[in-house]
Structure 1
Amino acid sequence: MTTNDGRLRLRGTTLGSGVPKVCVPVVAATPDAAVADVRALPAGVADVVELRLDHLVGAAGDPAVARHAVRAVRAALPPDVPLLATFRSAREGGAQPADDDAYAAVVRAALAADGADAVDVELAARDAAALVADAHGAGLAVVVSQHDFAATPPADDLVATLRRQRDLGADVCKVAVTPHDADDVLTLLTATRAFSRDTDRPVVTIAMGGLGVVTRVAGEVFGSAMTFGTVGAASAPGQVDAVRLRAAMGLLHDAL
């Protein structure tokens, strides 16, 4: 869990230290397909695996689907690779709709599965505070997130959002935005740097789409602790191949 110097250790991965860690999303439609995708991951490519529960057919209506998938994927993962369970709401780019009650039920099913190391909770969720408390009670770390698929808010607003996530109890604070020009990318990086200088926990920031690829590569310079890379299907616009991403980040790290 979070250390007193702002790092977060999950199994064999420490966020907030050195090269940003690579999280590989699994976006399969069934638990069996998710297990197959995990078993096909090249050794060493994923520091964290994110199971996208919203891509599982029927998960919003039957939380048992999510619970089964979390258990099955955990069993298929190497013991040192942590599992992040995420049900992304449709309002923030998820694959299937879920009202507030359904969203909370799926998140709680992931907590009850005894397989995830961390869970994503959206800052905008009606039950966000209760879900964070439940996750901590179950011994899981929490990524509190916000995703803007329309624009990039001003830097001060982004910092305020990250602070609200921290105050809610986030172990990792995460924002993703949509840039429309290079200035938007600079806005995100400015906010990342400002918040990372004044926080005691890891921050993850991403500008989506092609313009934002630089934010996926250069996080170490500005204070972002994790990025997302693909092995197969992407879960958000602008995600790049995880192997090439690791190589690019390593090149930058060696030059620092």
Structure 2
Amino acid sequence: MRPLHVHGRALPMPAVCIPLVARQADALRAEAAAAGARGPDLLEWRVDFFDGIGRTAEVVALAAELRRLSGRLPLLFTRRSVREGGQPIPLDEAQVLALVHAVAAAGAADLVDIEMASDPVHIAAARDACRAQGLGLVLSFHDFDRTPPAAELLERFRLAHRLGADLAKVAVMPRRKRDVLALLEATLQASEELPIAVAGMSMGALGAVSRLAGGEFGSALTFAVGQAASAPGQMPVDGLRAALAVLRRGSAG
């Protein structure tokens, strides 16, 4: 089981991430400062929520400012597409890639999330941009309708590794309790098989246990609510951290 590394430093297993989802710059600044005070291990800027996403220079400067305001927490820069649960934005895929390049070139984030369903050429370009600046690459897959079989989920993790990810992320929606087991099974197998960090999460109320206990099955990352959730089933960060502390003490024997 491999933890997530940021600039060579291993984060706790699992690392707790708070998403930033405000639409205006001043609200984002306040959200980052408040989130940093809650003690997460990193923040995620869901830039698809940001009304100014088309203003590249402002996005780059704001990303760097969010890190400073949070107390220098690592920042994961994410544009989530509509097809995988994100917000509509006024940019096409080539413009999104250009934005990622600008953020990476400026060293304004520490990790970048790209969806595995993206054009392979865009994935390769984002991977190269991250490598050039020492940023981590997260390759992600989301299904808000169902949970594919465990074998299919495992193949998603493997695909992320083949495409050059530093962390493979799979998030799916359960319709029954056995779907949560399928997600945890695939996450555990991927963590034992692959030489990269993995993150698996089952969304919604049924999948809440995966956000608490996912680390015991090899998941290197979990998401918690600071001021607002970015996906169904995320828990308040204070409760999640308290539960993780109890689980870690129990696991330590």
TM normalised by structure 1 equals: 0.91
Distance change in 2, residues 1:191/1:250 (3 Å): same
Q: Which amino acid aligns with 2:70?
A: L
Q: Work out whether 1:188 is the aligned partner of 2:180.
A: no
Distance change in 2, residues 1:9/1:100 (3 Å): same
Q: Which amino acid aligns with 2:175?
A: H
Q: Which amino acid aligns with 1:88?
A: R
Three-state SS of the structure 2 residue aligned to 1:130 is helix
Partners of 2:172 and 2:160 in 1: CA distance:
16
After superposition, the C-alpha distances for 1:17-58 in whole angstroms (9 at most, x for unaligned) are: 5x4110000101122221111112363521011111111104
Which residue of the other structure, out of 56, 65, 71, is the alignment partner of 1:63?
56
Aligned partners of 1:48 and 1:83 also within 8 Å: yes
Q: Work out whether 1:138 is the aligned partner of 2:130.
A: no
Q: Which amino acid aligns with 2:39?
A: V
The alpha-carbon deviation at position 150 of structure 1 amounts to 1.3
**Matching residue of 2:195:** 200
The alpha-carbon deviation at position 228 of structure 1 amounts to 0.2
Give the share of equivalent positions with the same residue, in percent.
Answer: 42
Three-state SS of the structure 1 residue aligned to 2:206 is helix
Q: Work out whether 1:75 is the aligned partner of 2:68.
A: yes
Q: Work out whether 1:84 is the aligned partner of 2:84.
A: no
Distance change in 2, residues 1:8/1:182 (3 Å): closer
Three-state SS of the structure 2 residue aligned to 1:41 is helix
Q: Which amino acid aligns with 1:118?
A: L
Partners of 1:218 and 1:239 in 2: CA distance:
13
TM normalised by structure 2 equals: 0.92
Structure 1: state its 5+ residue gaps.
none
After superposition, the C-alpha distances for 1:119-149 in whole angstroms (9 at most, x for unaligned) are: 1111111111221111111210111111111
**Matching residue of 1:156:** 151
Partners of 2:2 and 2:215 in 1: CA distance:
15
The alpha-carbon deviation at position 77 of structure 1 amounts to 2.4
Three-state SS of the structure 2 residue aligned to 1:211 is coil
Aligned partners of 2:77 and 2:111 also within 8 Å: yes
1:167-246 aligned within 5 A: 167-246=162-241
Aligned partners of 1:11 and 1:82 also within 8 Å: no
Which residue of the other structure, out of 105, 108, 117, is the alignment partner of 1:115?
108
Partners of 1:11 and 1:142 in 2: CA distance:
12
After superposition, the C-alpha distances for 1:80-124 in whole angstroms (9 at most, x for unaligned) are: x21111111111111124432132122223213322111111111
Aligned partners of 2:137 and 2:165 also within 8 Å: yes
Structure 2: state its 5+ residue gaps.
none
Three-state SS of the structure 1 residue aligned to 2:207 is helix
Three-state SS of the structure 2 residue aligned to 1:190 is helix
Which residue of the other structure, out of 10, 18, 36, is the alignment partner of 1:14?
10
Distance change in 2, residues 1:136/1:12 (3 Å): closer
The alpha-carbon deviation at position 6 of structure 1 amounts to 4.2
After superposition, the C-alpha distances for 1:195-223 in whole angstroms (9 at most, x for unaligned) are: 11112221111111111100000012211
**Matching residue of 2:47:** 53
Which residue of the other structure, out of 88, 95, 98, is the alignment partner of 2:87?
95
Q: Which amino acid aligns with 2:50?
A: L
Runs of 4+ aligned structure 1 residues displaced above 4 Å come to none
